[in-house]
Structure 1
Amino acid sequence: MKSIKMLAAAALMALPVPAMADLSDILEAGVVKIGVPESFAPFGSLGDEGEHVGYDVDVAKLVAENLGVELELVPVVSKQRIPFLETDRVDLVISVMGANPERAKSIWFSAAYAPFFSGAFAAADMEIGAPEDLVGKKVGLTGGTLEDLELTKMAPEGVEIVRFGDNAATLSAFTSGQVDVLVSGNTAAAEIAAKMPDIGLETKFVIKESPAFIGVKKGDFDLLQWVNVFILHKKLGGELDAISQKWLGQKLPPLPTF
């Protein structure tokens, strides 16, 4: 009986153990595989020449450069982000991913590296700093969205909220001057700022924060530590601010850490 148990234990020990792509493995391999958005401009999309471009793509390039390894970009859609990490299809996910307790059961999150929020946006010469300043102005938003629910709760009497059927109609109403203030996600505002720089579109106030975090596979502790130092270094050095200015048309705001 004893010999049978010993043979069984030996057999178990001989089974292959899945390799973890932690920091040392990436450095040894000389390549880092990073999941980036497939079609979520301005964070990640295909450029005119078929190359991947965007905020998250630039951050991925900076990660590879600082690791001193080659970069392999892996386009992902939302539902692929966590499974790709869990199955070693990618080493990191930089794909405008918010952190929440449910996701944290499956993967680890770095400090935040990018702003993602809903806010009120208007021309630079319009004096707005709080919901009270919207009184007497026409505010355009998409009906039934998070922005609609949040602004309806906080807007005082006298704010004219004009609701549109979809985001395209909302953006069109703002750019054509039908409304004075746009309430939307910062990515939609960035799109307008890029197409119409003369407006001088500004973030007037934030309605709801949902910053983006880098996803790391559970157990890759050294890699997580490195990524957090990387984010801190690029915040202090101004590189993340430059990426934010380039793709979102705004300075990098204060971002949360763990």
Structure 2
Amino acid sequence: MREKASLTVRYVSEQSVRYVPGPYTGQVDLIASGNVVMVTISERNPKRIPAMKLKLKDSPVYVGVNKGQPELLDKVNQILSAAKADGSLEKNALQWLKEPLPADL
């Protein structure tokens, strides 16, 4: 008789990454989470760096500006456009998120 395979899967949020030991100790086989959590796991246990198996989606990130502040919105857009154009936005994504910006950004 063939034995049934066992697989442990866990979702790890940014809030729980400090308290959930599974990704660090090998108690789980797979985790589903964002790249910020994966970077934290990699830094805390370099011997168990997670490998991406499947990308579920690119999560957008927004900069919020109150309505009625068009000058501030324009300034934020100028800063982001300049950072994208000079490569510093990509450099920061690689440094902090450990992956490049999406091609369609």
Q: TM-score, normalised by structure 2?
A: 0.65
Question: What letter matches 1:141 in structure 2?
Answer: R
Q: Looking at both structures, which has the greater relative contact order when contacts are Cα pairs under 8 Å and sequence separation is at least 6?
A: 1
Question: What letter matches 2:9 in structure 1?
Answer: G
- Tell me the secondary structure at the aligned position of residue 27 of structure 2: coil
Counterpart residue number, 2:71: 222
**Percent identity between the two aligned chains:** 29
Compared CA separation, residues 225 and 199, structure 1 to 2 (3 A):
same
Task: Measure the CA separation in 1 of the matches of 2:9 and 2:24.
Answer: 11
Listed as ranges, the gaps of 5+ residues in structure 2 are none
Flag the structure with higher strand content.
1
Could you list the structure 1 runs, at least 4 aligned residues long, displaced by more than 6 angstroms after superposition.
none
- Find out whether 1:176 has 2:45 as its counterpart: no
Alignment map for 1:12-161 (pairs within 5 Å): 138-142=7-11
CA offsets 1:4-59 (integer angstroms, 9 cap, x no match): xxxxxxxxxxxxxxxxxxxxxxxxxxxxxxxxxxxxxxxxxxxxxxxxxxxxxxxx
Please state how far the C-alpha of 1:177 moved relative to its aligned partner.
1.8
Question: What letter matches 1:195 in structure 2?
Answer: R
Compared CA separation, residues 226 and 202, structure 1 to 2 (3 A):
farther
Counterpart residue number, 1:163: none
Please state how far the C-alpha of 1:236 moved relative to its aligned partner.
3.0
Compared CA separation, residues 189 and 242, structure 1 to 2 (3 A):
same
Question: What letter matches 1:205 in structure 2?
Answer: L
- Tell me the secondary structure at the aligned position of residue 192 of structure 1: helix
Compared CA separation, residues 224 and 247, structure 1 to 2 (3 A):
same
Task: Measure the CA separation in 2 of the matches of 1:214 and 1:246.
Answer: 20
Task: Measure the CA separation in 1 of the matches of 2:84 and 2:46.
Answer: 25
Alignment match of 1:204 (pick from 28, 42, 53): 53
CA offsets 1:188-223 (integer angstroms, 9 cap, x no match): 212112223344434333324432111112122132
Q: TM-score, normalised by structure 1?
A: 0.32
